[in-house]
Amino acid sequence: MLQFIATIPYLDSLYPVCLLALFWLWETWAPLFRWQQSRVKHAVHNLLITFLNKAVMAVCFSALTVSFANAAGIRSIGLLNNITLPDGFEIILGLLFLDAWMYIWHRANHVIPFLWSFHRTHHSDNHMDVTSATRFHLGEHLISATLRLVLILLLGLSVWHLVIYHALMVFTTQFHHANISLGRFDQWIRLVIVSPDMHKVHHSREQIETDSNYAVVLSIWDRLGRSFRLREDPKTIEFGLDDYDEPKWQTVWGMLKTPWRKK
């Protein structure tokens, strides 16, 4: 177990990069939207802020998160450490708890003005592609990671819960942010997980659409939370935020300044 934990930083770097390359090739081969501007320039800006976030989060939270999960298990802290379930069911229940939490957290980012000030860095991207899945403000990551430490103790989440859910989340977020469309197959996929056509609605400029489809992995949370919404033709969606179309807000410095912009 300890040997596996030691490899997590390497897996956490290699796995997302391989997926990103795969979806980038898919977008190149069969894009939903054909851009008039450079995809590479857009990707570089998004990935630079991603590398910054990764570096800071690795230093601040990687070891701390593992320590909290191990401490919860050793000291029997949290819900899952105080109920008796078969190992498989415990893993599944923990993953469901994490995904439900991500729905709540994402929705809170749209409802609470302070959280939205950071989250709008993600929504200010006016050309959505697989690199948009990585475009977040460091402040949002820091708040989210801090709250996750509390969640680990409340639920008694293990390292396995965190590793497996992270792998699922990376795959689904890159998948549904990618500049692709699955046509009629999208309707079947979104019965279970968040699909590209479903999540593109969430990045619409229309606020009624922006404030919908908050789920990260399983689409059922939006159905239960009555926040599920579709657009008949995804190609008619305009991405981004009206106040952030100037090129300066698409740069790394512009993204870092976004939360403090006075409107």
Q: What is residue 172's predicted lDDT score, i.e. its pLDDT?
A: 97
Tokens representing 42?
Answer: 């857009």
Token pair, residue 47, equals 């990935």
- Which residues does residue 193 pair with via DSSP β-bridges, in sequence order? 218
pLDDT score, position 12:
67
What pLDDT, on the 0 to 100 scale, is given for residue 1?
46
pLDDT for res 3? 46
Q: What angle do CA 261, 262, 263 make, to 5 degrees?
A: 110
The predicted structure's pLDDT at residue 4: 46
Q: Which residues pair with 218 in a beta bridge?
A: 193
Position 14 scores a pLDDT of 86
Q: What is the pLDDT of residue 11?
A: 59
- Output the pLDDT for position 74: 92
The DSSP secondary structure of 2-65, one letter per residue, reads HHHHHHHHHHHHHHHHHHHHHHHHHHHHS-SS--SS-HHHHHHHHHHHHHHHHHHHIIIIIHHH
Domain boundaries, the chain: 2-28+37-260
Give me the residues of the chain with pLDDT under 50, please: 1-7
Total residue count of the chain as it appears in this document: 263
* pLDDT at site 37: 72
Percent of the chain whose pLDDT exceeds 70: 95
Give the pLDDT confidence score for residue 145 in this predicted structure: 97
* C-alpha torsion sign, points 98, 91, 199, 120: positive
